[in-house]
Homo-oligomer: A and B are copies of this chain.
């Protein structure tokens, strides 16, 4: 009875609020795109003239062919990778895949604008090409990460509001790092993972739910939901070399990024399995670790993959990050929840926050250790873009700026997360009561089937199946 009253106190009906937000924002996108967004030269029908001016002899020189395969891999990571990774919960598969779909679809539009204003703005217009699509996907990746922390505890409107603000803050932070600090971060250890994870952790801290144990029974997985999650894991794992190389310089840099990431991820699987088994009394492997910690190796070389990290360097970084991430799941997540009141549904602290920090640090060290001998004279300048006002930068100074990038990302994440968390705490967004968290039935029409028993116990008023 008490539970029922509590449940009724929360109005989770989205009927007018969600459509209103979606439609107004889409309308805003249309207007802003109409005013600002145009095709870049390589996607414009004037390309034939451009080609002549640029003295290009082949259509192959269009950036499309350098980046489109990687773009599609990144696209899969954002929508299938993150979406399915979060389906591990027994009764939140629709929310995991569906809300991820919603927020990412909105986020990429807003990111095209925000990042466009900062990076592709000329004569009052934003000119876009395939690289902008990749960057928009990247930006949204940081929102998907933050979503992992609050998975199951927020309404779709809250997610859209968070996306709006996080994409904005991401773009500002990215601008500071890449343009003001002149930091290298092609795979986004700092801009995507560190920022996204600490932002999400701050938000979930502020949205702390003291009674969350009321939905404890739904926070676990079932056999098949763990297999669905492995689809997400594997696509993230397999395509991560594309993620880290997608926006690197043409040629050797893209090639090198892919190799480094491949190596790091392979090593990470072995150390994750080792520690997963070691930390369980009977030596059994834990699906939570395999689904998540195996990916830490991709995060941890995000900054340095395009540098001369070397294959063995990648193995070392991957090995360490797998260990750190697995230890995090066993020891750190419970600590965060009980002591710091950070309820981190997917354990993004272990998969993105700590490996992201490692990635930033490894990047700073790798940059500081760079020499003309290792990179070649031209390669050295090209790798770090030491041209124009930056032509006097030395590796050690670059290393310092890289380190500064980590700090800035952290500060932006904490400050931004605190503000956005505060906004999301307003009682108007329609989030569910603690006892109804991790339950698709709140926001989705769920088919009746034998597996929904868990649900029926709590929701006697469930509508008949369609």
Contacts and interface: CB of A to CB of B under 8 A. Distances in A.
Contact of A69 (B69, B223, B235): B69
Interface string A223-245: 11011101100110111011000
Interface in A77-131: 79-80, 83-84, 87, 90-91, 93-94, 97-98, 101-102, 105-106, 108-109, 112, 128-130
Contact of A379 (B47, B238, B255, B311): B47
Nearest to A453: B450
B66 A69 contact: no
A13 B280 CA distance: 10
A374 B45 contact: yes
A252 B45 contact: yes
Interface stretch (A356-364, A405-413, A441-449): A441-449
Interface string A253-288: 111101100110111111101110110111111111
A462 B76 CA distance: 37
Interface stretch (A29-37, A181-189, A417-425): A29-37
Given A39-B256, A44-B252, A234 B101 contact: yes
A174 interface: no
Given A58-B58, A72-B242, A277-B15, A255 B129 contact: yes
Given A69-B69, A267-B109, A444-B287, A228 B226 contact: no
A374 to B, nearest CB: 7
A445 to B, nearest CB: 5
A238 B311 CA distance: 31
A378 interface: yes
Interface string A279-304: 01111111110100010000000000
A73 interface: yes
A65 interface: yes
10 contacts: A19-B274, A20-B274, A26-B274, A30-B315, A39-B259, A43-B255, A46-B375, A60-B250, A62-B250, A69-B69
Given A98-B230, A156-B285, A223-B449, 6 more contacts: A48-B252, A102-B269, A105-B267, A130-B255, A287-B444, A287-B445
Q: Which 7 A-B pairs have the closest CB atoms?
A: A15-B283, A45-B379, A47-B252, A105-B269, A33-B312, A22-B274, A59-B251
